[in-house]
Amino acid sequence: MSLRISFGHFHQDTETFPARAVIWQKRAHVAHDEQRHNSIDLNHLTVHTRMKLNLPSLPSPGGAGWSVALALALALQVVIYRETLRDAMRDGGKRLLVYKTMHRRFANQRLKRLNSLGDDRKSQWMWKKSPQGDTVSIDSDSSEESADGTGSTDGLISSQKKLVLVMVGLPARGKSFVVHKTLRYIEWLGFPTRMFNVGNLRRKLGKAGENANFFSADNSDATRLREEMAMDALDDLLEWLDTQGHVAVFDATNTTKLRRQHILEKVSSHRNVRVMFVESICDNEALLEANYRRKLLNADYKDKDPEVALADFRQRVHEYQKVYETVEDTEDGDNACYVKVYNAGEKIQARYCQGFLQSHIVSLLQNIHLCPHRIWLVRPGPSITSCQGILGLDTELAPEGHRVARAIARFVENLQLERPMEVWTSPMKRSRETANYLPTRNLKRYVTTTLLNELGGGDFEGLTYDEIERFYPKHYAARLQDKLRYRYPGVGGESYVDVISRLRSLIVEFERKKRDVLVICSESILRCLMGYFAGCEAAKVPHLQSYEDTVIELSPHRDGCDIKLIPLEFEDSEEDVTTVQ
């Protein structure tokens, strides 16, 4: 049973929950007395001696009776609080000490947040009875007991369906580029992912360096051997999916309908596994020529004359072209799920890509390109509260923060840009104040988005980590044990999984950009963005080093991303550029 009393509906000018500030002050007094004397006289909490309220003027229909009813309601609420405090003291008074800290740091902030919530959420901030009916406590989102994980979800996107991405396409058509982009994105989202490359298996089995005749359809022995190796790789893939995986990439040419039919038949014997064909097509001659020459670097042409190797590779492509069949709607019983990527993202064609992962993969592939560009990540100058080690709270830059902001502006001023860049930042005060120092001549567009807000601290905003460890040891230990999934309790509390989820659309946007971008973001956001471009799986993201007073330069390319660390220049210090491996 829970009791919620709302006063805002009596009169439109009446403030919602007018007694809340008085109650918080009572909690602070109780905590203070408990700390000094280890005892407290609950009779001091009686309404007529401690509560001093000026009742608002009420509409005439109820007359004086309305004021009496309101006074009784307030009295009833205070009685409930008094009983709650009695039970809390039986638990050792630990919560009472926390109330003093809450009152001192962010009681007013909680009041504003409460008044902005809907009625369905206001009740969660009221004191309520436990399911057992023998105690009264704060809502479980704020309580110590929720840290064991039984009362909340970890935020991970889960699904019983597993996905096999079957690559399709002639050699040197950009399949590896598409695979690397897709794998990096899915791993960053938190799905266990692995690539199974048939070419690597062939070379591992001693078939590296085979000439073009080995790939001819007229060579029956070689064709049979290549088919056996492909099915062996597929067996390994399915075994991995059955045990620990969620998304697997079958990387091979798979250029014939017969090969793809064999794949579908083998996969169909495994429950809850869906096949999505990803076909890479390239008809851009300049791009093809560049791809051909890059192929000369793999193990098949090691220590061979470049011109001889190039001629052999062209012949290999010709052998594949003889039997090449593009993916059609009629495959997989007229239910073929596929996406076709033309010229490394120039055009996209998709069919039946309606699942969560399928739709996100298509969205990503719609925005990939090969144009060189840079993304700079930098933390804003420290704020007044962050200098004190306080979690959350939106405060202005500290004096040191202004010094950092000027150094960031100096870095931008010294950039040699072919065209103006974009600046992305959150609406938080320290980020906007940092961006205000930037020179405008190098800026094309200034974007402010709440997607870049720091990880929400929920009920713990305004506390230091030492205070969390002292008053909420279970929460502190739970965060240390699993920093990725741990979610701060209360309204607005987030985990790193939550932050990754809200950054999905922003990652796609940054993949689409062909212009240089400067992102001013907090520590948690920087880790998530850097984790994606560095190719980190989700579990490693919360533990990435977040560099202070340093600009992280990301240069995406077809094989991954180059990362440079550029320390900010303060006064007469010299810039030192470090490359991250």
Q: What is the per-residue burial (b if ≥16 Cβ within 10 Å, else e) of 156-177?
A: eeeeeebbbbbbbbbbbbbbbb
Among residues 455, 562, 559, the alpha carbon closest in space to that of 503 is found at: 455
Q: Output the CA–CA distances (angstroms, integers) from residue 61 to 65, 66, 67, 132, 323, in the order listed.
A: 9, 9, 12, 41, 88
Separation between Cα atoms, residue 209 and residue 215, nearest integer Å = 12
Backbone angles phi, psi at 289, to 5 degrees: -65, -40
Q: What share of the chain is helix, strand, coil (3-state, %, to 5)?
A: 50, 15, 40
CATH number for the domain whose boundaries are 162-365: 3.40.50.300
In one-letter notation, the amino acid at residue 80 is I
Tens of pLDDT, residues 155-199: 445 556 899 999 999 999 999 999 999 999 999 999 999 999 998
Tens of pLDDT, residues 109-162: 544 444 444 443 333 333 333 333 333 222 323 333 333 332 333 344 555 689
Separation between Cα atoms, residue 10 and residue 251, nearest integer Å = 67
CATH 3.40.50.1240 residue window(s) in the chain: 375-580
What are 211's two structure tokens?
């000439």
CATH 3.40.50.300 residue window(s) in the chain: 162-365
Cα-based angle 107, 109, 115 (whole degrees, multiple of 5):
105
Enumerate residues 6+ apart whose C-beta is below 8 A from 420: 441, 442, 443, 444, 515
Tens of pLDDT, residues 324-336: 999 999 999 899 9
pLDDT tens per residue across all 581 residues of the chain: 333 333 333 333 333 333 333 333 433 443 444 344 333 343 433 333 334 444 445 445 455 566 677 777 777 777 776 766 666 555 544 444 444 444 444 444 544 444 444 443 333 333 333 333 333 222 323 333 333 332 333 344 555 689 999 999 999 999 999 999 999 999 999 999 999 999 888 888 888 778 889 999 899 999 999 999 999 999 999 999 998 889 999 999 999 999 999 999 999 988 889 999 999 999 999 999 999 999 888 888 888 888 999 999 999 999 999 999 999 999 998 999 999 999 988 999 999 998 899 999 999 999 999 999 999 999 999 999 989 989 988 999 999 999 999 999 999 999 988 889 999 999 999 999 999 999 888 888 999 999 999 999 999 999 999 999 999 999 999 999 999 999 999 989 999 999 999 999 999 999 999 999 999 999 999 999 999 999 999 999 999 998 889 999 999 998 889 999 999 998 655 444 445 54
What are 64's two structure tokens?
């004086």
CATH number for the domain whose boundaries are 375-580: 3.40.50.1240
